[in-house]
């Protein structure tokens, strides 16, 4: 299909200070991220006529952000929430709005500030048990009190079914830390070995500390506009070529495929088909990595390797710098920063622009991006192109 002037592109990227940053509210981070994204694109705030907002555990970014930014006469305004798949979903909605002429310049922003001085990351994400009724109450009574335990159950099922090992999970953590060492924005940049991984403390078996993502304060925004509008802006446009979502709705009952198949199995091929490309055309892969296991099962479901062979695939050395598959090139949520789906999206934009510095991948014309939400309940996929 020939390019159209209304084809959607990402024209601006705004990233606040990330990590253990105390003081600003989630709304403060969001406003700062939008301002930075507009400035990055070479746009004035007044040019924005669409605003999509989301936040994490604190729900601190609301429609009031419009007033905080003094935006008037917006043609599109909404809060969105599909957990870690939200960033991809926001770009999808913004892209459709631009294509339809519903809005011309749409800011998509996610921000949160769960970290507090003197409080653990686990407490920030509500890892403690809370009284609940019904099925959630039974889970709590059995000791399943948060995402760590539920993802651990999924990972354990994969291990029991296919023979996946802890050492294979460790290969993912090690490769991503090697990428993070070249990312000045990464919170953790010290290289790690398999011995370091195996020595890290248990969180919820089979997950060790180095299997689990960071917790970060901060905000990230992107600006979606049309190809014709982006032609004269400050940054090289990143074309939004394909997108899809999938929401499996795991029942938790007998014969469910929880832990074995995720929404990536539907959303990945659909997004690639929309873009008119195949996996062999993809140069960079940025996957949602709340846990090492999430990376492994997503690689399988996207088709980079057969189902059940993800462990052998990742331990082959293919993922790190110099490997054949450039994956999570900024360090991901495991080592760089945890901004839900904005983590893989932001690095995808950087790579597609060719602005990755020391970690820049040579073949970066097509980038595959995933978002994962809930306990493998929601999935979004984007295919981005640095050229059209």
Say whether 213 sits in a helix, a strand or coil: coil
Please identify every residue annotated as catalytic: 288, 338
Distance CA 76, CA 68 (A): 16
Residues sharing a CB contact under 8 Å with residue 30, sequence separation 6 or more, in sequence order: 53, 55, 61, 65, 68, 109, 110, 111, 219, 221
Q: Identify the H or E element spanning 107.
A: strand 105-112
Q: Write the CA distances from 345 to 89, 125, 161, 305, 341, integer angstroms.
A: 11, 22, 31, 23, 6
Q: Which residue has the tokens 């980038």?
A: 367
Distance CA 336, CA 346 (A): 11
Q: Classify strands 284-286 and 326-327 as parallel, antiparallel or unpaired.
A: parallel
Distance CA 174, CA 280 (A): 25
The DSSP annotation for 216-243 comes to -BEEEEEEEEEHHHHTTSSS--EEEEEE
Q: Classify strands 50-55 and 8-15 as parallel, antiparallel or unpaired.
A: unpaired
108 φ, ψ (degrees, to nearest 5):
-115, 120
339 strand-pairing partners:
341
247 strand-pairing partners:
none
Asked if residue 240 lies in contact with residue 8, where contact means CB atoms within 8 angstroms, the answer is: yes
Secondary structure E strands in 198-325: 202-204, 207-208, 218-226, 238-246, 284-286
């Amino acid at each position: 299909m020939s390019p159209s002037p209304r084809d959607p592109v990402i024209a601006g990227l705004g990233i606040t200070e990330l990590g253990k940053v105390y003081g600003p509210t989630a709304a403060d981070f969001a406003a700062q991220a939008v301002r930075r994204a507009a400035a990055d694109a070479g746009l004035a705030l007044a040019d924005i006529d669409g605003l999509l907002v989301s936040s994490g555990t604190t729900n601190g970014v609301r429609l009031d952000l419009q007033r905080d930014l003094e935006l008037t006469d917006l043609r599109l305004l909404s809060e969105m929430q599909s957990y870690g798949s939200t960033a991809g979903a926001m770009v999808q909605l913004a892209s459709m709005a631009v294509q339809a002429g519903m809005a011309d310049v749409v800011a998509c922003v996610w921000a949160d500030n769960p970290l507090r001085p003197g409080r653990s990351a686990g407490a920030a994400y509500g890892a403690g048990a809370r009284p609940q009724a019904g099925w959630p109450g039974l889970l709590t009574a059995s000791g399943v009190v948060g995402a760590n335990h539920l993802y651990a159950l999924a990972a354990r099922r994969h291990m029991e079914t296919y023979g996946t090992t802890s050492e294979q999970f460790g290969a993912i953590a090690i490769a991503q830390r090697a990428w993070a060492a070249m990312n000045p924005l990464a919170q953790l940049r010290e290289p790690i070995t398999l011995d370091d991984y195996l020595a890290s403390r248990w969180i919820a078996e089979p997950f060790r500390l180095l299997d689990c993502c960071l917790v970060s304060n901060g905000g990230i925004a992107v600006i979606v506009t049309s190809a014709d509008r982006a032609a004269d802006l400050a940054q090289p446009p990143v074309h939004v070529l394909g997108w899809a979502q999938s929401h499996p709705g795991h029942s938790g009952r007998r014969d469910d495929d929880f832990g074995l198949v995720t929404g990536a199995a539907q959303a990945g091929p659909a997004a690639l088909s929309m873009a008119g490309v195949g996996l062999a055309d993809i140069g960079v892969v940025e996957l949602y990595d709340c846990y090492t296991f999430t990376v492994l099962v997503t690689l399988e479901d996207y088709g980079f390797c057969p189902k059940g062979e993800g462990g052998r695939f990742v331990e082959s050395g293919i993922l790190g710098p110099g490997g054949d598959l450039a994956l999570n090139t900024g360090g991901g949520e495991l080592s760089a920063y945890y901004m839900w789906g904005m983590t893989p999206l932001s690095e995808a934009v950087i790579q597609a622009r060719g602005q990755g510095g020391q970690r820049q991948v040579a073949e970066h014309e097509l980038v595959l991006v995933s978002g994962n939400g809930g306990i493998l309940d929601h999935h979004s996929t984007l295919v981005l192109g640095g050229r059209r």
